[in-house]
């Protein structure tokens, strides 16, 4: 089995014991499986079959250079949400035409660079932004390739913080406004509309919102085509969820066939922007139990050396991640509240978990931490960013060393 599995009593990553990695690099540390990362990318790629498509991996989920390099090597393109992600992508060898540039608040400085780079598309999120792109392109004598991000007013039914497709959310342009914009485009010589785009949310665990959003996108594309606008592709965004708790989630195959079914009539290639579904399960956060103390008559606190500074999701969205000891001790399960070391009561990584008995010094892993883990880490409490490790072909290497206090202080006067 690719990725993280337990052959004996110990959890390993593609044959490398996690305890060996912890011994060498310390904890907390993120550990990724290159094989699982590639496997997930290929599974999604294959799921589209013969239908023309392009996978623009969403850097926002995790953009550690060695990981995005792995994806570049197997054919991925890029979805960036800031000019710094665009520049990172270019620095590892992605071409401008492999990059779509999203984001609800791109500054003029970011747009200046983006227009000059002739990216695959700047995905605009408001009529004001479209006008700013037009002004920059006109000033520099260029034609900007743009896609319009549509807000289809569809509830993705994920956590409110990561649902983006309702009219009340800050993202995209409502469908009626997008329709009105279409009529203005032929006269706007500095703009080249290449696609419509949507992204209705993240961690979506049902195909229904994806199907409805794609159907609404298809309607708009047909209208544009009838108006004589030759679009180049249709961008269905990212958002497919993963099973953090073991519950059912749509397969890549069902996801891809839903998109193809709804968008086939446009006769356009489909672009997708997956982040979490590619990288999430391919990474874990490795931590150590620092202390144990009684909590209630039936449960104990297990204080571990990773918390909201290393994995913000539980504190930010009440997100669930499976947690398990690296080496299981014998004995019946006990109830633990797994908490981080941060001085905040909200720094709870796992509530009321039944686990094999833990002892101080034991290693634990927090599963599915490959996406929205290291990218959301902070120096809160002056904690250094953890090391990141990539396991590949039976060996491992540090792909980002642990930050030091001097690294942090280097920016300060
Ligand atoms: C515009 C856009 N595209 C793609 C993604 C990637 O989403 P996910 O990691 O859920 O696939 C996001 C993240 O929310 C996004 O905002």
The mean pLDDT of 167-193, rounded to a whole number, is 90
Please report the pLDDT score of residue 327 as a whole number. Answer: 96
Q: 363-366 and 323-325 as β-strands: parallel, antiparallel, unpaired?
A: antiparallel
The mean pLDDT of 319-346, rounded to a whole number, is 96
Q: Whose CA is nearest to atom 14 of ligand 1?
A: 202
Report the separation in Å between the CA atom of 23 and the middle of ligand 1, taken as the mean of its atom positions. 35
Q: What number of other Cβ atoms are within 10 A of residue 121's Cβ? A: 27
Burial of residue 332 (number of CB atoms within 10 Å: 0-12, 13-18, 19+): exposed
The mean pLDDT of 117-122, rounded to a whole number, is 97
Residue burial 140-167, b: 16+ Cβ < 10 Å; e: rest: eeeebbbbbbbbbbbebebeeebbbbbe
List, in sequence order, every beta strand (DSSP E) within 340-375: 348-355, 363-366
Please report the pLDDT score of residue 155 as a whole number. Answer: 74
Q: Whose CA is nearest to atom 13 of ligand 1?
A: 202
Please report the pLDDT score of residue 168 as a whole number. Answer: 72
DSSP characters over 40-105 = HHHHHHHHTTTS-EEEEEEGGG---HHHHHHHHHTT-EEEESSHHHHHHHHHTT--GGGEEE--S-
DSSP characters over 225-263 = HHTT----EEE----B---SSS-----HHHHHHHHHHHH
Residue 241 Cα: closest atom of ligand 1 = 10
Please determine, for residue 159, whether its predicted confidence score (pLDDT) is greater than 80.
no
Q: With pLDDT > 70 as the criterion, what percentage of the chain qualifies?
A: 99
Locus of tokens 């009838």: 226
- The radius of gyration computed from the CA coordinates of the chain, to the nearest angstrom, equals 23
Give residue 154's pLDDT band: very low, low, confident or very high (50, 70, 90): confident
Q: What number of other Cβ atoms are within 10 A of residue 314's Cβ? A: 22
Q: Sign of torsion, CA 93 402 276 283?
A: positive
Q: Are 273 and 102 in contact (CB under 8 A)?
A: yes
Please report the pLDDT score of residue 80 as a whole number. Answer: 98
Please report the pLDDT score of residue 163 as a whole number. Answer: 67
* Ligand 1 lined by 123 (C-beta under 6 Å): no
Q: Are 181 and 148 in contact (CB under 8 A)?
A: yes
Nearest to 151 by CA among 162, 163, 167: 167
Tokens, residue 156? 């993705």
* Ligand 1 lined by 314 (C-beta under 6 Å): no
The mean pLDDT of 307-322, rounded to a whole number, is 97
Q: Are 286 and 327 in contact (CB under 8 A)?
A: no
Q: Which residues pair with 302 in a beta bridge?
A: 292, 338
* Cα 273 from Cα 317, distance rounded (Å): 22
The mean pLDDT of 51-70, rounded to a whole number, is 98
Q: Which residues are catalytic?
A: 343
Please determine, for residue 411, whether its predicted confidence score (pLDDT) is greater than 70.
yes
Q: Which residues pair with 31 in a beta bridge?
A: 284, 389
* Cα 237 from Cα 203, distance rounded (Å): 12
Please report the pLDDT score of residue 373 as a whole number. Answer: 98
The mean pLDDT of 313-322, rounded to a whole number, is 96
The mean pLDDT of 10-38, rounded to a whole number, is 98
Please report the pLDDT score of residue 1 as a whole number. Answer: 87
Higher local confidence (pLDDT), 200 or 299: 299
Report the separation in Å between the CA atom of 238 and the middle of ligand 1, taken as the mean of its atom positions. 5
Give residue 162's pLDDT band: very low, low, confident or very high (50, 70, 90): low
Please report the pLDDT score of residue 167 as a whole number. Answer: 74
Contact residues for 263 (Cβ-Cβ < 8 A; gap 6+): 214, 217, 218, 221, 234, 236, 270
Please report the pLDDT score of residue 172 as a whole number. Answer: 86
pLDDT tens digit sequence for 131-145: 999 999 999 999 999
* Ligand 1 lined by 271 (C-beta under 6 Å): no
pLDDT tens digit sequence for 228-271: 999 999 999 999 999 999 999 999 999 999 999 999 999 999 99
The mean pLDDT of 284-311, rounded to a whole number, is 97
Substitution site in 37, 60, 80, 256 for ligand 1 pocket (most atoms within 8 Å of beta carbon): 60
Q: 99-101 and 121-124 as β-strands: parallel, antiparallel, unpaired?
A: parallel
Give residue 156's pLDDT band: very low, low, confident or very high (50, 70, 90): low
pLDDT, the chain, mean = 96
The mean pLDDT of 287-297, rounded to a whole number, is 97
Cα angle value 21/380/244 (rounded, 5°): 55
pLDDT tens digit sequence for 376-401: 999 999 999 999 999 999 999 999 99
Please determine, for residue 289, whether its predicted confidence score (pLDDT) is greater than 90.
yes
Substitution site in 237, 240, 243, 255 for ligand 1 pocket (most atoms within 8 Å of beta carbon): 237
């Amino acid at each position: 089995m690719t990725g993280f599995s337990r052959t004996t009593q110990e959890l390993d990553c593609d044959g490398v014991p996690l305890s060996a990695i912890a011994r060498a690099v310390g904890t907390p540390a993120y550990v990724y499986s290159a094989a699982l990362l590639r496997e997930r990318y290929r599974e999604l790629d294959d799921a589209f079959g013969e239908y023309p498509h392009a996978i623009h991996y969403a850097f926002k989920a995790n953009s550690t250079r060695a990981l995005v390099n792995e994806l570049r090597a197997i054919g991925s393109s890029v979805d960036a949400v800031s000019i710094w992600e665009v520049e990172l992508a270019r620095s590892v060898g992605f071409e401008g035409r492999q990059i779509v540039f999203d984001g609800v608040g791109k500054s003029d400085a970011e747009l200046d660079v983006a227009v000059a780079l002739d990216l695959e598309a700047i995905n605009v999120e408001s009529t004001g932004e479209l006008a700013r792109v037009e002004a920059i392109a006109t000033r520099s004598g260029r034609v900007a390739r743009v896609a319009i991000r549509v807000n289809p007013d569809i509830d993705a039914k994920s956590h409110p913080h990561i649902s983006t497709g309702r009219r009340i959310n800050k993202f995209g342009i409502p469908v009626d406004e997008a329709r009105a914009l279409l009529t203005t485009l032929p006269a706007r010589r500095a703009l080249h509309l290449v696609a419509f785009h949507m992204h209705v949310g993240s961690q979506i665990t049902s195909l229904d919102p994806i199907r409805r959003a794609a159907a609404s996108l298809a309607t708009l594309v047909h209208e544009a085509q009838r108006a004589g606008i030759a679009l180049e592709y249709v961008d269905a965004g990212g958002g497919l969820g993963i099973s953090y708790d073991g519950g059912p989630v749509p397969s890549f195959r069902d996801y891809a066939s839903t998109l193809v079914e709804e968008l086939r009539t446009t006769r356009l290639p489909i672009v997708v922007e997956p982040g979490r579904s590619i990288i999430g399960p391919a990474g874990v956060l490795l931590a150590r139990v620092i202390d144990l103390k009684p909590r209630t008559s039936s449960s104990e606190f297990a204080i571990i050396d990773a918390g909201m500074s290393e994995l913000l999701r539980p504190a930010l969205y009440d997100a669930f991640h499976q947690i398990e000891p690296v080496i299981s001790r014998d004995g019946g399960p006990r109830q633990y509240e797994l908490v981080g070391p941060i001085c905040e009561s909200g720094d709870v990584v796992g509530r009321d978990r039944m686990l094999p008995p833990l002892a101080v010094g034991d290693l634990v892993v927090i599963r599915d931490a490959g996406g929205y883990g290291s990218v959301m880490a902070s120096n809160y409490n002056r904690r250094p960013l953890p090391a990141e490790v990539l396991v590949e072909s039976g060996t491992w290497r540090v792909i980002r060393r642990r930050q030091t206090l001097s690294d942090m202080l280097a920016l300060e006067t």
